[in-house]
Structure 1
Amino acid sequence: MSRDERRAVSPWNIANVLTVLRLALVPFFVVCLFLPGTGWRLAALAVFAVASFTDHLDGELARRYGLITDFGKIADPIADKALTGAALVCLSVLGELPWWVTIVILGRELGITLLRLVLIKLAVIPASYGGKVKTALQIAAIVLYLLPWGPDALRWTLMGAAVVVTVGTGIDYVIRAIRLRGMARRTRGE
């Protein structure tokens, strides 16, 4: 599909609706997580799982049916960050996840989001494969933490991998942004 055809795609498509739905599920997830009892914890897990599944589904639909839009390229990672960020903060508030983990991951996520917004005049940099791995690791680790039971060693191993990949992909994104900015300057003759 050509760039002109992509611009013609309406932002009101099923992929973007799923992204917005993921954002809308975040408050329900938070409420369920803070309510007492195993049933509410499992409800929080279910809401998180549904919201996480929409991340996979919206990307698949956008690619398969040519529904890729600039709105989706920006809104999708923001929805991911809202969901995982809410989960990390809540788990830290509940004393189940060390704050340093939440701060490192959210610091990277907020920094890259701001960088994306600064670069939007030049181009929209889509998520890389590493970014998809990062998101999958974060989601898997959070799911283990949301379970009312589970092996701590596995939780920590997966969360540790998520932290390492999160930082690594953040560095990669900064390098790509610097290259993009350099290319833009050369194109303008600066």
Structure 2
Amino acid sequence: MTGDIWTLPNALTGLRLLAVPVLGAVLVASGDTSQGRWIALALFLAASLTDVADGWLARRRDQCTDVGALLDPIADKALIATALICLSGLGLVPWWATVLVLAREAAVTVLRFAVLHHGVIPASRGGKLKTATQTTLIVLALVAPGWTQLLDAVVVATVCWTVVTGLDYGAKAAALTRTRPPSLRPAAFPGPDLPR
């Protein structure tokens, strides 16, 4: 971890955070129109690309910072949560799916901070796939809201995988607390490649 917070990766994370209220405003104001959904799609994809870029740049430039490690998952979750809540408000994604996804994300966030004194659990491929399924759901709902059968299938797959990876994270956290004694101070904040 470096001490300098003024880095390009952190700037990209900041831009992603700034994109969240803009995305929400577009969906609330014109999400019921095709033009509004395309604008929202462009914003969502651009913000999602910054998630890929900031982690890659932070590792490549050796610019991993505590601030970036803290803000990166917050920005990711805020982006996904805002999109899902707005899409549910528009009737494009069922509320039960959004509630389950957000409950899992909140539970994992609380659990992650609860076990920091024991260590950090590295990200799994399942967690990365979970993010990919959530992104696919949001993109599909924006691009083709009329494809109800396909959309329903993606909703079920996304929710199931989100819940499964949440349970897996809980099991790993429990194992960590049993095998590692707590340290005197919390472990470093999880970086861009740590549990989501």
Q: TM-score, normalised by structure 2?
A: 0.83
Corresponding letter in the other structure for 1:182: R
Query: 2 CA distance for matches of 1:149 and 1:162?
Result: 16
Q: Which stretch of structure 1 is more off in the superposition, 104-113 or 55-64? A: 55-64
**Cα distance, 1:95 vs. partner?**
1.7
Query: 2 CA distance for matches of 1:117 and 1:20?
Result: 22
Does the residue aligned with 2:131 lie in a helix, a strand or coil?
helix
**Cα distance, 1:100 vs. partner?**
0.7
Hey, what does 1:64 align to over in structure 2?
60
Hey, what does 2:154 align to over in structure 1?
158
Hey, what does 1:84 align to over in structure 2?
80
**Cα distance, 1:113 vs. partner?**
0.7
The yes-or-no answer on 1:22 pairing with 2:48 is no
Hey, what does 1:34 align to over in structure 2?
28
Query: 2 CA distance for matches of 1:96 and 1:71?
Result: 35
Higher RCO (Cα < 8 Å, 6 or more apart): 2
From the superposition, tell whether residues 110 and 187 of structure 1 become closer, same or farther in structure 2 (CA, over 3 Å).
Answer: closer
Aligned residues: 182
From the superposition, tell whether residues 165 and 72 of structure 1 become closer, same or farther in structure 2 (CA, over 3 Å).
Answer: farther
Q: Percent identity, aligned pairs only?
A: 45
Query: 2 CA distance for matches of 1:74 and 1:126?
Result: 15
Query: 2 CA distance for matches of 1:156 and 1:40?
Result: 22
Does the residue aligned with 1:96 lie in a helix, a strand or coil?
coil
Hey, what does 1:47 align to over in structure 2?
43
Hey, what does 1:10 align to over in structure 2?
4
Contact 2:118 2:183 in 1 (8 A): no
Query: 1 CA distance for matches of 2:80 and 2:23?
Result: 11
The yes-or-no answer on 1:182 pairing with 2:183 is no
Corresponding letter in the other structure for 1:30: G
Query: 1 CA distance for matches of 2:139 and 2:71?
Result: 23
Comparing both structures, which one devotes a greater share of its residues to helix? 1
Hey, what does 1:172 align to over in structure 2?
168
**Cα distance, 1:186 vs. partner?**
7.8
Q: Which stretch of structure 1 is more off in the superposition, 41-50 or 126-135? A: 126-135
**Cα distance, 1:159 vs. partner?**
2.4
Runs of 4 or more, structure 1, over 4 Å off, are none
Does the residue aligned with 1:46 lie in a helix, a strand or coil?
helix
Could you say what the CA RMSD is over the residues aligned between the two structures, in angstroms? 2.1
Does the residue aligned with 2:98 lie in a helix, a strand or coil?
helix
Q: TM-score, normalised by structure 1?
A: 0.85
**1:89-100 maps to which residues of 2 (within 5 A)?**
89-100=85-96
Query: 1 CA distance for matches of 2:46 and 2:20?
Result: 11
Q: Which stretch of structure 1 is more off in the superposition, 10-19 or 39-48? A: 10-19
Q: Which runs of 5+ in 1 are unaligned?
A: 1-6
From the superposition, tell whether residues 76 and 8 of structure 1 become closer, same or farther in structure 2 (CA, over 3 Å).
Answer: closer
Does the residue aligned with 2:129 lie in a helix, a strand or coil?
helix
Does the residue aligned with 2:91 lie in a helix, a strand or coil?
coil
Contact 1:134 1:165 in 2 (8 A): yes
